[in-house]
Amino acid sequence: MERIFTLKHQDRNGKARTGVLSLPHGEVDTPVFMPVGTAGTVKAMYHKTVADIGYNLILGNTYHLYLRPGTDVLSLFDGLHAFSNWGRNILTDSGGFQIFSLSKLRKIYEDGIKFQSHIDGSRHVFTPEKVVDIQQCIGSDIAMCLDICSAPGIDKKKTMKAMDLTHAWAERCINRRDSLLEETGRAFRGNLFGICQGGFYEDLRIQSAKTISQMDFPGIAIGGLSVGESKEEFKHFLAVAADACTHEKPRYVMGIGTVDYILEAVENGIDMFDCVLATREARHGTVFTDDGMLNLSRAFNEKNSGPISEGCTCTACTHYSRAYMRHMFKAGEIYGAMLASEHNLTYLYNFMLRIRQSIEEDRFESFKNEYMARFYANGGLCKN
């Protein structure tokens, strides 16, 4: 198994750490936030703008790309990089979470998952092997195994069954990855990550984290978090799973994008995370600032000639006022969503730079405390 993670520095006062991921389309500094480009595009953003901000790893989704445009189209372009003209790294979720959310349209059985398309109702089957094949077609730099996510409130017996099936599917994913060269003449192009589950039971979380850690994966994802549980449950089970995972491999928590959850993950030694929140909130006129989330449509922005955030290098902050931004959203102009999306992704990119610097200087804990005190001084809302 090829190692793709190099540890640079661990804060001497805790578990927060910096490192480098070595991927087929370039190196990635960690901890890293990944913008979500579900269908091959980060919504309301030019690819060039995403790259110019500094991002070199974005997330796509196997389920959505499989349904549309489909593997036949992607194969014509030899994958998503050429099809979408994105020359940097791509991580793809296996689609397991999306199918998990389609509870009325899917059925899980030992060999895989049967589901109906949310687009046209057509019927499909995902097996562990098929998900590897689809991600090979996509050309994913990091690909995820098919897993089963357990929602809060599921009893232990059902959670254990889902976990055991996730482990069995992980072995099948590895076998398919390793057989591709012989069977197709082309080795797997990316790096296959395993996903540990275990729901909201400590012993199962620990068992799953240790089981996946011992398998032949260059990286590990902690799944089944931020799926509706309380914040305290999230914090507790994140810490339990992170402690049980090997520290030799990069660790990834899927679907977290609020500043408090990001900081909590970094504090537990997590290296990677993604979320749609930044761009989704931006399209509705809500943006990140150090003083909390700012709703640009609020009346107090109507005559404000200042930027969203002083010192921010995004187009909105360097060229336009809050008053103009408010006008864009009140008028329903697409440009407002584009500008706000760029701001939020710029903010989070610089937020990660600040986090990495604080770790390198062994002051992550003080950075976290000072940042949180300011951000949540008014309940997490910027009011001026």
* Spans of all domains in the chain: 5-275, 282-375
Instruction: Look at residue 97 in the predicted model and tell me its pLDDT.
Output: 74
| Active-site entry in 29, 72, 93, 164 | 93
- In the chain, which residues have pLDDT < 50? none
Q: Please say if 274 is a catalytic residue.
A: yes
**Helical segments of the chain, H only:** 47-53, 62-67, 71-76, 80-84, 96-101, 128-138, 156-184, 202-214, 231-244, 259-267, 277-283, 315-319, 322-330, 334-360, 364-375
* The amino acid at 165: L
| Active-site entry in 11, 133, 141, 274 | 274
Q: What is the pLDDT of residues 190-234, one digit of tens each?
A: 999 999 999 999 999 999 999 999 999 999 999 999 998 999 999
C-alpha–C-alpha distance, residues 212 and 219, integer Å: 9
Cα Rg, the chain, nearest whole Å: 21
C-alpha–C-alpha distance, residues 237 and 249, integer Å: 19
Instruction: Look at residue 247 in the predicted model and tell me its pLDDT.
Output: 95
C-alpha–C-alpha distance, residues 146 and 113, integer Å: 9
C-alpha–C-alpha distance, residues 345 and 314, integer Å: 9
Instruction: Look at residue 1 in the predicted model and tell me its pLDDT.
Output: 66
Instruction: Look at residue 96 in the predicted model and tell me its pLDDT.
Output: 75
Instruction: Look at residue 103 in the predicted model and tell me its pLDDT.
Output: 65
Looking at CATH, the fold of the domain delimited by 5-275 is given as TIM Barrel (3.20.20)
Q: What is the pLDDT of residues 144-161, one digit of tens each?
A: 999 998 888 899 999 999
Q: Please say if 93 is a catalytic residue.
A: yes
Joined tokens for residue 73: 């189209």
Instruction: Look at residue 2 in the predicted model and tell me its pLDDT.
Output: 78
